[in-house]
Chains A and B, each alone.
Chain A
């Protein structure tokens, strides 16, 4: 049997989700954002909530997220995605609202909005992409940058005396009574991607059941910012990032 005989619609086992359109993504080759976009699209398609889901795009690399997934989107000012999500979820309680934010957006400029939205227990989902760096602006230090990690603004490594400690924001959010589900996942291997997909589904289900705020953190890579190949970046993440940001559920109620 030749390859051409196998390539028939009835034999298809995996392809791009219909929620994701044909526009080429602007992300660097090997960026974790693409995998997370794809997973969100797949979950929306499987749950059949395309017409009711509303995404809030952040400022950062994912600022053009609205170009790639064919659902309703609203762009927010830098860090203010949870505030916009609060408004939309209260005005349109039948809709399922999620924010998609990076670490510069959620853990730096948007810390107050994030913490207060979680503390109020808004029925929203927060997807948090943590790659320990400001990717879009050229690889500057973020609050989540690891101790000793080199970036454009700390070329000798992050000094905790000068710059403070890496901020474990998901651990912080898990302390709040408003959150119902806080988990930390990754998308670097097939098993990790499967687990992430389950976490995304659970977060959407929580939002639809009005259980409170769900936070799904993805420990991700920024191979351009870290100055590595995509594969090296995955290895580096496994060795260094997972020590500080261990994977697993932090809260599930």
Chain B
């Protein structure tokens, strides 16, 4: 079976740290950063990069449209 690997790119300036994507992710990829962006919000980043399957659930639930999702078959 082909393995699928994904990657998430977060627009950190747009992210408001609502954490809805962290709840929506089925493979616990995302985490909240300790740093803040220029607006003072903590933003989301890929904490567990290897687990991402590129399902784009995080992108769908993001209210600020700050997530882009990439996917490859290997």
- Is A61 part of the contact surface with B, judged by Cβ < 8 Å? no
A1 and B63 in contact, given A29-B41, A190-B24 (Cβ under 8 angstroms): no
A14-B19 contact in complex given A3-B49, A7-B9, C-beta closer than 8 Å: no
* Interface assignment of B36: CB less than 8 Å from any CB of chain A: no
- Which of the residues A3, A12, A33 comes within 8 Å of B63, measured between beta carbons? A33
Task: Please report the C-alpha to C-alpha distance between residue A29 and residue B22 in the assembled complex, in whole angstroms.
Answer: 14
Knowing A14-B68, A24-B14 touch, does A3 contact B57 (C-beta < 8 A)?
A: no
A1-B74, A16-B68 known; A231 vs B61 contact (CB < 8 Å): no
A-B contact count (CB 8 A): 99
A193 to B72, CA, bound (A): 24
Known contacts A1-B5, A7-B9, A30-B20; is-contact A189 B61 (Cβ 8 Å)? yes
Bound together, the chains give a CA A31 to CA B14 distance in angstroms of: 14
B59 to chain A, nearest CB (A): 4
Complex Cα spacing A27 to B70, Å: 27
Q: Hey, which chain A residues are within 8 Å of B30, CB to CB?
A: none
User: Range of interface residues on chain A?
Assistant: 35 or more
Report yes or no: A193 in contact with B60, Cβ–Cβ below 8 A.
yes
CA distance A6 to B70 in the complex (A): 6
Nearest to B58 among chain A residues (CB) is A14
Q: In the complex, which residues of chain B have a beta carbon less than 8 angstroms from the beta carbon of A38?
A: 62-63, 65
Inter-chain contacts of B13 with A (CB < 8 A)? 24
Q: When the two chains form their complex, are residues A7 and B18 in contact, meaning their CB atoms are under 8 A apart?
A: no
Q: How distant is the Cα of A226 from the Cα of B65 in the complex, in angstroms?
A: 23
Is A137 in contact with chain B by the CB < 8 A criterion?
no
Contact indicator B7/A6 (Cβ below 8 Å): yes
Q: Which residue of B lies closest to A30 (CB)?
A: B18
What's the least CB distance linking B33 to chain A, in Å? 14
For chain A, residues 26 to 51, give those with C-beta under 8 angstroms from any C-beta of chain B.
Answer: 27-35, 38
Chain A residues with Cβ below 8 Å from B14 are: 24
User: What distance in Å separates the Cβ of A243 from its nearest Cβ neighbour in chain B?
Assistant: 22
Residues of chain A at the chain B interface (Cβ within 8 Å): 1, 3, 5-8, 11-17, 20, 24-25, 27-35, 38, 187-190, 193-194, 229-231, 234
